[in-house]
Amino acid sequence: MKPANSVLSSYGTTIFEVMSGLAREHGAVNLGQGAPEGLEPADVLEVAARAAQEGPHQYPSMWGTPDLRHAIADHDNDCYGLGVDAETEVMVTSGATEALADCLFGLIEPGDEVVMIEPLYDSYLPIVQRAGGVPRLVRVEPPQYDLPREALAAAFSDKTKLLILNSPMNPCAKVFDREELGFIAGLLEQYDAYAVCDEVYEHLVYDGRQHVPLMSLPGMRERCARIGSFGKILSITSWKVGFIVAAPALMAPIAKTHQFINFTTPTCLQTAVAYGLRKGKPYFDQLVGDLQRRRDHLAAGLTGAGFLPMTVGGTYFQTVDFSRLGWDGTDADFCLHLTKDVGVAAVPVSAFYRQAEDGAPPPQHYIRFCFAKSDAALDEAVRRLTTHFG
Ligand code: PMP
């Protein structure tokens, strides 16, 4: 048989699928995958159930239902003052993953350079490469995850088509501040490049921090495609409803990709997430309060078990340094050990870095736990870890 596409064939199964499979097999508490528990808003589920019964049941517009597009534009205008037009600047997608693929396939020409900041969410690199883009990777690294400005500037060139920016950032929970964003904006202007802004954790920021969309900075309105996910906003990851906000000229090629890849997203889910998004600030505040409490609860338990928790500014991920526990293998082997022998699944942070053939190895003694879990799951995980290591 003739070989399939070599870029995609060269990738294994994603780490999330692997660790969740192992967690099931070994009866481990799964703090690996970023799937929230007990946070699904009951009223949003009811609206979806009703809409699934009542319809309409046929293809909606490829741009999304007018109701949802208006809810997204109102949200972006209220939260960030972006002045978004619902008719021309909003497109609904089947999750942020589809939105990312739409942006990357729509904008990259073979040979274009794409600047990305490691750690990387796992779909970025394969899609950039499949689109013919040439990755230019820069790292932020634990424990501080500071932006390496010189390296970032050096990664830009006249061939740079775009930068992918994930803020708040998975897995390191970094929230880019206005100053860092200003530096990035300067590079985008200097090199006449775009930014694909993965902002799926926009509402999960803690301790009074503010999420600032790159798009809201001077000169960035036309250069940025802003991506969101209702999986994260409403804690319903299986629904796979996301969106893109971009100025019409930038949206045009992105919409072309969407029309050939996916075209539409189920109407009943769009109806329900539009309702959910309109719950607004009181809902977001409650979600943040609840998650912040879970974050602190898990961090205290992990500290007691001997781990060193890193600062969590946003997302629902707690990365920890496990070097005090005396393990001298890799983080991936440590996660296998945790899942099989301790009964707690986590994800190795090195999986979010490319295994550079020539360059420095990725960080090796950090793992990621998801704290958006039920109190019972968090307590049981901490009990198992403390019994084993404490
Ligand atoms: N980007 C990041 C950084 C994510 O963490 C995730 C989900 N884990 C996604 C995109 C994908 O979101 P969705 O489920 O809406 O496709």
Q: What is the mean pLDDT of residues 13-29?
A: 90
Residue 357's pLDDT is 60
- Are 235 and 372 contacting, i.e. CB atoms less than 8 angstroms apart? yes
pLDDT at 53 over 70: yes
Cis? peptide before 119, omega within 30° of 0: yes
> Which ligand 1 atom is at minimum distance from the Cα of 232?
15
Q: How far is the CA of 390 from the centre of ligand 1 (A)?
A: 34
Residue 197's pLDDT is 99
Say yes or no: CB of residue 231 within 6 Å of ligand 1. yes
Closest residue CA from atom 8 of ligand 1: 34
pLDDT (tens digit per residue) in 334-386: 999 999 999 999 999 999 998 666 678 899 999 999 999 999 999 999 999 99
Q: How far is the CA of 81 from the centre of ligand 1 (A)?
A: 24
Phi-psi region of 112 (alpha: psi -120 to 50; beta: other; left: phi over 0): beta
pLDDT (tens digit per residue) in 288-345: 999 999 999 999 999 999 999 999 999 999 999 999 999 989 999 999 999 999 999 9
Q: Is 297 exposed, middle or buried (0-12, 13-18, 19+ CB in 10 A)?
A: middle
pLDDT (tens digit per residue) in 254-292: 999 999 999 999 999 999 999 999 999 999 999 999 999
378 vs 309: CA distance, rounded Å: 15
pLDDT (tens digit per residue) in 226-249: 999 999 999 999 999 999 999 999
pLDDT (tens digit per residue) in 81-130: 999 999 999 999 999 999 999 999 999 999 999 999 999 999 999 999 99
Q: What is the mean pLDDT of residues 193-205?
A: 98
**Band of pLDDT at residue 15, cut at 50, 70 and 90:** confident
Q: How many CB atoms lie within 10 A of CB 322?
A: 22
Helix (H, G, I), strand (E, B) or coil at 256: helix
